[in-house]
Amino acid sequence: MKSITIAIDGPAGAGKSTTARRVAERLGYVYIDTGAMYRAVTLAALRASTPMTNEAMGDVAASLDIVLETSSGGQLVMMNSEDVTSAIRSADVTGHVSQVSAFPLVRRALVQRQRMLGLHGGIVMDGRDIGSVVFPHAEVKIYLIADTNERVQRRLKEATARGEHISEDDVRRQIVDRDAYDSSRSESPLVKADGAHEIDTTDLTIDQQVEKILELADTYQKTYSIVSAFGNFI
Ligand code: DC
């Protein structure tokens, strides 16, 4: 079977990370959470009180060593050898990450790394611009969406599970603001990529989302094998 690239984009709380991780597990692929990379840059910049300029933020992004490791408990995010898996989910990072990720030099540095990570296929990558910019030729592109209310409840549950105390109104504000910022920025805004399959996850379980994506991957593989077989006769 061909080692393909599966690109999963969508707004915050649409279910990208959990779904992408499970799809990768089922296929024996590598899962790459690109949001975690933008979060790591934001964390480093906040800690160093880096000025909010394209150049300064671009330097942070270009010099930071970010490693995504798969562990039995999920994905570990290592930043300059420090485990920042929890720290990158803090309210402070979440409140600044959209602004940081809109800087063109930050995107340039991270997109370059993401392309290197996916050079040989066999990956499931999630984010905002994977199917549109990072891998516009990905074999399977998914655009995950869900009702705002549903996304707020999901994020609230995640925050509670992490022991955070945040009100529903604050989560809603964060999600709505982040969606608006991520969709309206001039550099690689969140869009449904050409050829992406839109899946509304509002009433779907994670298992159902995973199965839908696996079916699309399977359809691609079958089509590819038929087309390749024909190619041999021409
Ligand atoms: O998926 P997430 O919530 O962890 O992403 C955090 C932020 O990073 C999100 O608000 C926008 C940005 N991001 C991006 O601009 N491009 C990506 N490919 C992934 C995330």
pLDDT at 234 over 60: no
Give me the mean pLDDT over the 49-75 stretch.
93
Q: Using pLDDT thresholds of 50, 70 and 90, give the confidence band for residue 158.
A: confident
Compute the residue count for the chain: 234
Q: What is the pLDDT of residue 4?
A: 97
Task: Tell whether the torsion through CA atoms of 83, 126, 212 and 227 is positive or negative.
Answer: negative
Record the tokens describing residue 32, joined without a space.
């790459």
Mutate which of 112, 182, 187 to test ligand 1's pocket (most atoms within 8 Å of Cβ)?
182
Ligand 1 centroid to Cα of residue 17, in Å, is 11
Distance CA 178, CA 176 (A): 6
- The reported pLDDT for the residue numbered 233 is 67
What does the buried/exposed string (b/e) look like for 105-125 if buried means 16 or more CB atoms within 10 Å of the residue's CB? Answer: bbbebbbebbeebbeeebbbb
To test the pocket of ligand 1, the residue of 128, 135, 185, 188 to mutate (highest count of ligand atoms within 8 Å of its CB) is: 128
- Ligand 1: atom nearest CA of 38 is 8
Q: Taking the domain 5-208, which CATH number applies?
A: 3.40.50.300
Say if ligand 1 is within 6 A of residue 35 CB: yes
Q: Which amino acid is at 62?
A: A
CA of 156 to the centre of ligand 1 (A): 18
Any ligand 1 atom below 6 A from CB of 114: no
d(CA 222, CA 141): 16
Candidates 4, 54, 3, 7; CA nearest to 34 is 7
Query: For 137-146, 163-172, 207-216, which range has the lowest pLDDT when averaged over its residues?
Result: 163-172
Distance 214 CA to ligand 1 centre (A): 24
What are the tens digits of pLDDT across the range 4-32?
A: 999 999 999 999 999 999 999 999 999 99
- 94 CA from centroid of ligand 1 (Å): 9
Q: Is the C-beta atom of 182 inside 6 A of ligand 1? A: yes
Output the pTM of the full model.
Answer: 0.94
DSSP structure string for 85-148: TTGGGSHHHHHHHHHHHT-HHHHHHHHHHHHHHTTT--EEEEESSIIIII-TT-SEEEEEE--H
Extents of the domains making up the chain: 5-208
User: Which H or E run contains 72?
Assistant: none
What pLDDT, on the 0 to 100 scale, is given for residue 73?
Answer: 75
* CA 174 to centroid of ligand 1, rounded, Å: 13
Span 192-197, mean pLDDT? 97
Query: Of all protein residues, whose CA lies closest to atom 15 belonging to ligand 1?
Result: 101
CA-nearest residue, atom 20 of ligand 1: 35
